[in-house]
Chains A and B, each alone.
Chain A
Amino acid sequence: MTAGATWLDRFRSKPRVRTALAAALPVGWVTTFLFLPYLLLLLHSLWKLDDNQMIVHQWTLASYRRLFTTAVYPSTIWFSAKIAFSVTLLSLFLAFPLAYLLAFKVKRHKNLMYMAVIIPLWVSYLVRAYAWKIILGQEGILNGLLAQAGLIHRPLEFLLYSKWAVIIALTHIYTPFTLMPIYAVLEAIPNSLKEASQDLYAGRWNTFRHVILPLSLPGVLAGCTFAFVLSMGDFIAPQLLGGNDSALMVSNVVVSLFGVAYNWPLGAAVSVVMLVIVVSLLTLANRLERRFNYRGETAAARKTDALAAIATEARA
């Protein structure tokens, strides 16, 4: 016996209605609490800060002008980019061998070992950055060990409170993060490709160079992009470990402009510039990744993989 159809059934069976109902909450929320805030950020960058330190809703490009003409802002952005670049490069050189090892040389307990490498990602970012204070300080572990080994007679001062400390700490924090996509891609290379390469007279180095390396590029790209973007946006490590260099990363500038230096429009402008840089990088990475994606997997599948990877990041 089939129940009779009511007008409610008819109404709800329309695909548009179903979509509208399903979309109401998520779209509404995201619009209110994500779209509007980002929009407001942009608007603030175009508003004016009057002489009484009040934000006036008048359109002006003064903030951007100031940003691009005052030397300190572009140089800060450039400095941040350089640090982020160093961190990315170092992370890559550390992450790749370990990822390779895990993917190809570890036979037993592979999952366990992988988890072991990922665990630090989940430990508080602050803890991991702060640990370097202990290690690199004048009375810290590194200096202590070097002195005991007789290698130095005075503590190395440049270690802590310098951009090197920031770079080392950020590398330490983001290496597992770079490792994840590289591992995922290496793991996905079918064993038969390695065997085929060897069957065709390529030794281990040639197999690596001609087969494994090209196929690892999407993962390398993803890992490097995340490391770079996250490093650029970091403001904790520079303040903890940067010393005199502590205010010279972009995010520190933003923090002070929204705080002590109270200039929200300018702060918003700097943020918008940072946002543009980051989004451009990500778009570029996306394009490149599609070019190097030889397996022909659907974009949706890759996206969820990459995103699942991001989802376990611990960021400041």
Chain B
Amino acid sequence: MNRFLWSVGIGVFIFIYAPLLVVVLYSFHDSRIIAWPLQLGTFQWYGVLFQDRGMLDAVAASLKLAALAVVISLGVGVPGAFLLDRHEFPGKTLFQRLVLMPLILPGIITGVSLLTFFTFIGLPLSSGFPAIPGWPVVLGHGTALVSVVVTQVFARLQRLDRFQEEASMDLYANGWWTFWHVTLPNIRTALLGAALLVFTLSLDEIAVTFFLIGRQNTIPLQIWGLLRRGITPEVNAISTLIFLVSVIVIVVWARLMHDPEGANA
């Protein structure tokens, strides 16, 4: 029985990883046609990648979008988490449900809703500064990812030792000072973790972006475009890079999560 369990378990593990491995290996595949057998031995696709103007623009756009998403989601999410943790008010349950909707519902529903909203109020998809993605997609990302921040920070707040704040105020520090110097450092890793999560999720976001994007493309949409025109091995290269970045991010995130109130954060 034990052996059966182990073989199934390992099988599943392989099932989870093999496809990723395939993509990584094929990014070094020495042929334009992506077929079996695998011919390892070239970096050319990475070269093609770095000369692909469209892709590089998409990378820039994605990064800017992700950064803005982090700012918005933290700016709205942290107060939201505090609100849920410390206050009671009529409609609190509705607020809670609403905040969680983008996480729970398929992204397409949130995307479509936001599209109707922005169209309704007459905000064009490519409005905003030319250097950054349009307002709708920026606001859309930020809003959709507020939920992530709220859940992460809320969970941390629930475990917070309230007495530290009380001690601070007992010792004559006012509300703001206490918040900045006592509360905030204690939830620092949760904030960093949430920011990291939002950044990564924004980079990979497809559903909401699909409906709200203006003239620029993000990385996933750019890849999507390439895929629809037929596979080019360049896609393997960018996918491998994304994989690497994701692994690094999750390792950092895991470190943060297991190092409560970081000696090093």
| Chain A residues close to B by CB (< 8 Å) | 18-19, 22-23, 25-27, 29-30, 33-38, 40-41, 44, 94-95, 97-98, 100-102, 105, 111, 115-120, 122-128, 130-135, 137, 139-141, 143-145, 172, 175-176, 204-205, 229-230, 232-236, 240, 251, 254-255, 258, 264, 267-268, 271, 274-275, 278-279, 282, 300-301, 304, 307-308, 310-316
Contacts and interface: CB of A to CB of B under 8 A. Distances in A.
B220 A251 contact: no
Contacts of A22: 79, 82-83, 86-87
Contact of B26 (A118, A134, A176): A134
Given A22-B82, A30-B146, A304-B154, A137 B6 contact: no
Given A40-B120, A41-B109, A311 B197 contact: yes
A33 B36 CA distance: 48
B146 A308 contact: no
B116 A37 contact: yes
A224 to B, nearest CB: 14
Contacts, number: 257
B86 A124 contact: no
A310 B103 contact: yes
Among all A-B residue pairs, the 3 with the closest Cβ atoms:
A233-B106, A144-B36, A139-B35
21 contacts: A19-B87, A22-B86, A26-B99, A34-B99, A34-B143, A37-B113, A41-B116, A100-B5, A123-B247, A127-B242, A127-B243, A131-B23, A134-B231, A140-B35, A175-B12, A233-B207, A235-B207, A254-B108, A271-B109, A311-B103, A315-B106
Contacts of B5: 97, 100-101, 105
Given A124-B239, A235-B207, A315-B106, 7 more contacts: A26-B76, A26-B99, A33-B140, A117-B16, A271-B113, A308-B155, A315-B107
Interface in B34-60: 34-38
B80 interface: yes
Interface in B222-265: 223-224, 227, 231, 235, 239, 242-243, 246-247, 249-251, 254, 258
B246 A123 contact: yes
A229 B87 contact: no
A271 B114 CA distance: 13
Nearest to B236: A134
B87 A278 contact: no
Interface residues of B, number: 91
Interface string B179-207: 00000000000000000010011011011
Contacts of B171: none
A139 B33 contact: yes
Given A25-B76, A126-B223, A232-B106, A172 B16 contact: yes
B151 interface: yes
B104 A122 contact: no
Interface string B92-107: 0001001111111111
A271 B207 CA distance: 13
Nearest to A12: B175
B163 interface: no
A251 B12 contact: no
A102 B8 CA distance: 12
B112 interface: yes
A127 B239 contact: yes
B6 A101 contact: yes
A40 B152 contact: no
Contacts of B258: 111
Contacts of B128: none
A211 B111 CA distance: 43
Nearest to B258: A111
Contact of A141 (B36, B103, B117): B36
